[in-house]
Structure 1
Amino acid sequence: MRVISGEFRGRRLATVPGNGTRPTADKVKESMFNMIGPYFDGGDVLDLYAGTGALGIEAVSRGMGHGTLVDSAYAAIKTIRENVGLTKAEDQFTILKEPVSAAIKKFSTSDQSFDLILMDPPYAKQDVIKQLAAFVAGNVIKPGGTVLVETGTDVDYPDTIAGYEILRHHEYAVAQVLILRREA
């Protein structure tokens, strides 16, 4: 697994030991970023269920100004810290060890909101529709901001999602990617 493009291009990233984390394949990651960018001119990215931190690191590598990476597993946080260290740009990242629900609640009660939210929840714990609603209700995603969600193919999305415009929906062998823009 590596950083595909941008400032940190080519850096090999560590993986979380064991089978508890399912990193996004490089080919899928490249396709996802080609759909939403592929490059950015500043802004803040929130990587939920960060695992290795690869998606958030990729976004910062491609031009996002700051990345906040959230995971609740100790092994994941340890790996994220190692991978952020490989960038030599640690000041561009905030790493939070807490459940995603707690992070969403924290951001909902603060003035911090994000231009891009990346979500790759464990396939057994997908509660995406409720989380998307919480992003809008708590102003976690800025108006006009983008949300990219990678889930298993067993998740059925409605034709419309309140507060969002559906930009893309693409299925891969065992995953699907949904890209949304928050309505202004």
Structure 2
Amino acid sequence: MRVVSGSQKGRSLKPVPGNSTRPTTDKVKEALFNMIGPYFEGGLCLDLFAGSGGLGIEAISRGVDKVIFVDRDRMAIQTIHDNLSSSGFTEQSEVYRNDAERALKAIIKRELVFDYIFLDPPYKKQQLVKLMELMDREALLADDGTIICEHGSDVHLPEQIGSFVQYKHENYGMISISIYKR
């Protein structure tokens, strides 16, 4: 597992120990960023099921200003901190140990609006539609923002969720990427 492109291209990232997380493969990560970027001129990003932090770190490497990382697993949080430290991105990040819904409620209170939101929940516990409906109601995505969902290819997300419309969808074996815009 590594940073695929940008300022930290080639940097190895530590995976979360154990079997509790499933890191995005470098091939899928590269395809995902080619679909939404591949490079950025600033912006605020939310990595809601962050795992090792690989997606958010890739986003910073490619030009995003700041990423808020959220995961509920203690080992994942430690791994995110380690990966941010080794990549030099600690100052461009906030890391929180929380479940997705509680994290979103805290974010709503801060009145943050994101340019990019990564949703890569555990495949067995998909809550994508419910979380996206909350994000839509609370206007957490900038008008020209993007939501990127990684999910099992057996999960079929609706073409529209609230004001979010799916504009790209690709399958990579057992993994699918669905991208939404307002």
**Which category of TM-score, normalised to the shorter sequence, fits these structures?**
over 0.9
Q: Give the percent of matched residue pairs that are identical in Structure 1 and Structure 2.
A: 42
Deviation of 1:88 after TM superposition, in Å, equals: 1.5
Q: For residue 109 of structure 1, give the secondary structure of its aligned residue in structure 2.
A: helix
Structure 1 segments unaligned to the other structure (5+ residues): none
Shift, 1:144, TM fit: 1.5
**1:2-81 matches, cutoff 5 A:** 2-81=2-81
Distance 1:49 1:123 in 2: 11
Provide the secondary structure at the position in 2 that maps to 1:148: strand
Corresponding residue for 2:110?
A: 110
Whether the aligned pair in 2 keeps the contact of 1:151 and 1:177 (CA below 8 Å) is yes
SS in structure 2 opposite 1:49?
Answer: coil
How far apart, CA to CA, are the structure 2 residues paired with 1:83 and 1:133?
Answer: 31
RMSD of the TM alignment (CA)? 0.9
What is the identity, as a one-letter code, of the residue corresponding to 2:84?
Answer: V
In structure 2, list runs of 5 or more residues that go unmatched: none
- Name the SS of the counterpart of 1:67 in structure 2: strand
- State the 1:44 CA deviation: 0.4
| Number of aligned residues | 182
Letter in structure 2 aligned against 1:94: E
Contact 1:3 1:13 in 2 (8 A): yes
Q: Could you tell me how far apart the structure 2 residues matched to 1:155 and 1:23 are?
A: 18
Alpha-carbon deviation of 1:147?
0.3
Residue type of the partner of 2:171?
A: E
Q: CA deviation at 1:5?
A: 0.5
Q: Contact 1:109/1:138 (CA < 8 Å) preserved in 2?
A: no
TM-score computed with the length of structure 2 as normaliser? 0.97
Question: What does residue 176 of structure 2 align with?
Answer: 176
CA displacement, residues 129-180 of structure 1 (integer Å, 9 cap, x when unaligned): 1111111111211111100000012212223222112210111111110001
Aligned twin of 1:141: 141
